[in-house]
Amino acid sequence: MGIKQLARWLQESGYTVVLTGAGMSTESGIPDFRSKSGWWRNIDPGTVASIEALERHYPLFHEFYSTRIKALSTIQPHQGHLILADWERHGLVRCVATQNVDGLHQAAGSENVLELHGSIRSVRCQGCDNPALMDDFLAKKPCPTCGGRLRPNVVLFGEMLPEDAWNEALANITRADLVLVIGTSLQVYPVNQLPSVTRGRIAILNAEATDMDSMFDLVIHGKAGQTLKSIDE
Ligand code: BV8
């Protein structure tokens, strides 16, 4: 029932926005964070994905991010990413606002992608903010300009979100007829506030229940790729 209803809402909606999280990338082989097989199963996010980690535990910070960056060379978008890109081309989806930093939506062909938590595909110097070479970051070299520490262009815990992406996501979701949330536990602020600002319908497609399920008009528990394929058929 849920899948048929979502397919109908997608057709009826004149303005659909998709909001994704790490669960959108697990079928491409990238672990998520908080489910049983996620990154945080035995790493405290504060010790690796925070400003404090960057400043006080650089070896751990560097290992966490360089591991994920190197893994990207073997990672491909899955059918779910490709379907969302196809829906954008057919006018069914206006934009994808994502918490993911892996670039898989863009690799699948989605054009209007808002990276709310930045990207691990580029790096900069924490000291002088200059863009830096990925090879220098992976080789743990200091910034060639100021000698500062290099870091990926992700939003670490405690950092502000990129203003343009945040404002654009807010504007799109506010005016949407349908917001489809896919593969996120909705535990990270302020992105977890976005679904509630829409005036339209909100649906969530997630492998397991979240603390926010009760606020949704439609809840589908299932795998992103498989479920999107069933809707697309
Ligand atoms: C900010 C770096 C001010 C990038 C990340 C106390 C209480 C409340 C809030 C706070 C607090 N103390 C501090 C805060 C704020 C803090 C926060 O929210 N902390 C939480 C965790 C307590 N937030 C911040 O610091 C943010 N900045 O607040 O600045 C501000 C104020 C207003 C406006 C603007 C700014 C910065 C947050 C960004 C942190 N960066 N990572 C990286 O390395 O990737 S967070 C990290 O979590 C990732 O970015 C990730 O994307 C994000 C969210 O996680 P999810 O994507 O939801 O992943 P998760 O594993 O949790 O869930 C995946 C789900 O998918 C699971 O449910 C699973 O079942 C499901 N799934 C798995 N496979 C599939 C599937 N579903 C379907 N199909 C599948 N195949």
The structure tokens 């397919």 sit at 7
Give residues (CB < 6 A) around ligand 1: 21-23, 26-27, 32-35, 38, 49, 99-101, 117, 154-161, 183-185, 187-190, 206-208, 210, 223-224
How much of the chain, in percent, has pLDDT values that exceed 70? 100
Residue 201: the pLDDT is: 97
Q: 6 by DSSP, 3-state: which? A: helix
Check: pTM over 0.90? Answer yes or no.
yes
pLDDT digits (tens, 9 = 90+) for 6-48: 999 999 999 999 999 999 999 999 999 888 877 777 777 777 8
Residue 233: the pLDDT is: 86
Question: How far apart (Å, rounded) are the C-alpha atoms in residues 103 and 94?
Answer: 18
Residue 34: the pLDDT is: 83
pLDDT band at 56 (very low <50, low <70, confident <90, very high): very high
Strands (E), 69-110: 95-98
Does residue 224 carry a pLDDT above 90? yes
Residue 228: the pLDDT is: 98
Strands 95-98, 113-115: pairing is parallel
CB of 191 closer than 8 Å to CB of 47: no
Residue 66: the pLDDT is: 96
pLDDT digits (tens, 9 = 90+) for 169-196: 999 999 999 999 999 999 999 999 999 9
Determine which of 43-47, 64-68, 78-82, 96-100 has the lowest per-residue pLDDT on average: 43-47
Closest CA to 183 of 226, 233, 222, 232: 222
> What average pLDDT score do residues 111-130 get?
98
Q: 118 by DSSP, 3-state: which? A: strand
Give distance in angstroms: CA of 145 to centre of ligand 1: 32
Strands (E), 166-227: 178-182, 201-206, 218-221
Mutational test site, ligand 1, from 28, 33, 186, max ligand atoms within 8 Å of CB = 33
Q: What is the ipTM of this complex?
A: 0.94
